[in-house]
Structure 1
């Protein structure tokens, strides 16, 4: 049993009844999140009253979508009901049973976290530097790695135009896997253009400059897609650091046109946005978005399946980002039924 779980004896008994590891993981994550609140109150979740559950949802769980709020409510309700049935709880009636709709009001979505395909393409179209465009498109397609090493290690000879594939390298630069690029993505084209760039315009070409301050820096020739500044004739062409990627993303977020995307334009959320778009296409194809579809997404994005992925890979998020397409898809699904 994990550490930092309040009333660990009772919660262990509860978890032992589940054979499914995914189910155990869901409850374990919830119990970890509830630890500090339970500890400060010296009270188990199954004894929380209405106001205490409201505070827990609002200040600790902070659900970002209706799907997350619904999942939290169902999971909590099942745990409370078990405690009531086994006479561990002080409640006679479950205070949160069938109250999913009520907890929807605690969904916190004050800042845009994800971008649609159309928004991604629009953002890229405003970027002068192909070096910047490549970073966004690469992340969207699931190329990241630990500390974005898959991006910084990519070389021009890793691109296969004939097969429309890219060889991905590990931290040490050794070949790790081959990624098939979707036909609708221009990632390889952007990579080639990025490698050919000879100058990098500061602040997307909007910086004020004078005789003593250039609006651009010269880029060194390199076998790598992302290139650093040309320092002198002898040096240059080395692999850029992860901080170059992070700094360039920060500059993209600072652009006036991207004010509403300050949270979405990070490596984490750009990649998740790409995953959401793949989820849309799979939902259209299969008529559902379950574990099988999410595992296909995980395979492409080189990650293991986790229940927490459903926090953003769900129908609510698809409907929020792609409302017209979802109406069309759901109408088609209803007709086929």
Structure 2
């Protein structure tokens, strides 16, 4: 049974009242909204609410969610995003099975939010990109996306490949993407999935692929979460404060390492593999060793990452032999012995090397404790790129040379250097609008 967040509902009552006044002032808009609502809500209730003779309290929970969904689909105002008003129940998270070689295998059928999970698993197993199947990590990301889209698919009782423009745009809004690239990646996955559905005969060819209509930055820019942009950029002072005053230095050092340029990609591979002997304390450099991607088997060459004095001090603290890790759950506070090894990031007790999932959880822990909703590995890395780029530009370095340096420092040229430079320039320009010109 859906649980309603009444506090969130109360927050939008005044805005909702103003909106109803607005639609009543335009006959065509009133008719369109009323017609859409009457398809999913008792028409008598719809009329007296729009006539302002009764409040939304007369609606059942499911009707109220439908009410907000219609408004959201019409005006694309995130205040009325139906997901805002639903209290999530504790559902099992996406699980994975082990393959014969011991690696994880992700399945859409293990995520309760995915709509038509068996067909989506068929897509994930049979689809090819440049002749190659999806890697398990790519499947994991795609299943997470399908889970988000599934909430809307379940409401409309149809798959995303059957959506019209309004419904697909509702999907784009609900993703709350904060960067153009992340939204483009999500649309690309949906486009590939819908192409697969067309190939399988699920969609008439004359209808085409709804996602293909959203293939330019100008078209999809309105669906970005603009309110998040300023909160996505963290200054070095903020990261230093968050990392320096973290409950556990083993948590805090993660933020500083990512901010300085250690890669968070490939399941935090670099972060998990660097050892104390890789750190040149005098020259303030981490000599990242040659590594092998645990999923793809790709060999990665060694490289160097400059670090700040603050990061060096955190590394020294994190490597103390008597290190304890504080865990707080509700009113319970427990202290655990950090495993002894030469890895900078370690697990507890006998786990001498930290798991990638634990790195992610430690960042979330700081974000929740300190109230930083947008604190995640990607935004920390982006913030570091912006900080060091602006520092180089202050010294008079041309933007193209700056991008070359940042691409190298943050190891951004994993796929194609020109693409990395293009998106880096975009981030710098956007940051300059927010932080001010250099």
Give the alignment's TM-score, normalised by structure 1: 0.57
Provide the residue aligned with 2:271 in structure 1: 151
In the superposition, relative to structure 1, how do residues 271 and 185 fare at CA in structure 2: closer, same or farther (>3 Å)? farther
What are the residue-to-residue correspondences of 1:118-129 with 2, within 5 Å?
A: 118-129=237-248
2:234 paired with 1:115 = yes
Report the secondary structure of 2:389's partner residue: helix
Partner of 1:301: 410
Alpha-carbon offset, residue 111 of structure 1: 6.8
Structure 2: unaligned runs, 5 residues or longer: 1-128, 131-180, 195-206
RCO comparison, higher one (Cα < 8 Å, 6+): 1
Query: Is 2:425 aligned against 1:310?
Result: yes
SS at match of 2:287: strand
Query: How far is 1:201 from its partner?
Result: 1.0
Question: Are residues 195 and 109 of structure 1, via their aligned partners in 2, closer, same or farther at CA, if it must alter by over 3 Å?
Answer: same
Of 265, 273, 283 in structure 1, the residue corresponding to residue 383 of structure 2 is 273
Alpha-carbon distance in 1 for matches of 2:362, 2:230: 21
1:208 alignment counterpart: 331
Per the alignment, residue 244 of structure 1 pairs with 358
Partner Cα distance (2:306, 2:273) in 1: 17
The answer for the alignment partner of 1:283 in structure 2 is 393
The residue aligned with 1:74 is none
How far residue 142 of structure 1 moved from its aligned partner, in angstroms, is: 1.2
Q: Which residue of 2 aligns with 1:185?
A: 309
Q: Secondary structure at the match of 1:318?
A: helix
- Quick one: distance in 2 between partners of 1:41 and 1:303? 28
Asked if 1:135 is matched to 2:254, the reply is: yes
Alpha-carbon separation, structure 2, partners of 1:41 and 1:149: 33
Superimposed CA distance per residue, residues 302-335 of structure 1 (whole angstroms, 9 cap, x where no aligned partner) = 1223222233122x413423x4xx4xx4xxxxxx
3-state SS of paired residue (2:395): helix
Q: Could you tell me whether the CA contact under 8 Å between 1:224 and 1:237 is conserved in 2?
A: no
Deviations 1:204-260 (A, max 9, x none): xx8522xxxx52212121111112111xxxxx25311101101111111110xx32x
Distance change (3 Å), C-alpha of 1:171 and 1:119: same
Deviations 1:22-69 (A, max 9, x none): xxxx9xx79x879799944997999xxxxxx9975423xx3x6xxxxx
- How far apart are the structure 2 equivalents of 1:43 and 1:110? 25
**8 Å Cα contact 2:385/2:406 also seen in 1:** yes
| Cα RMSD (Å) | 3.7
Deviation at 1:164, TM superposition (A): 2.4
Q: Is the 8 A contact 1:275 1:297 kept in 2?
A: yes
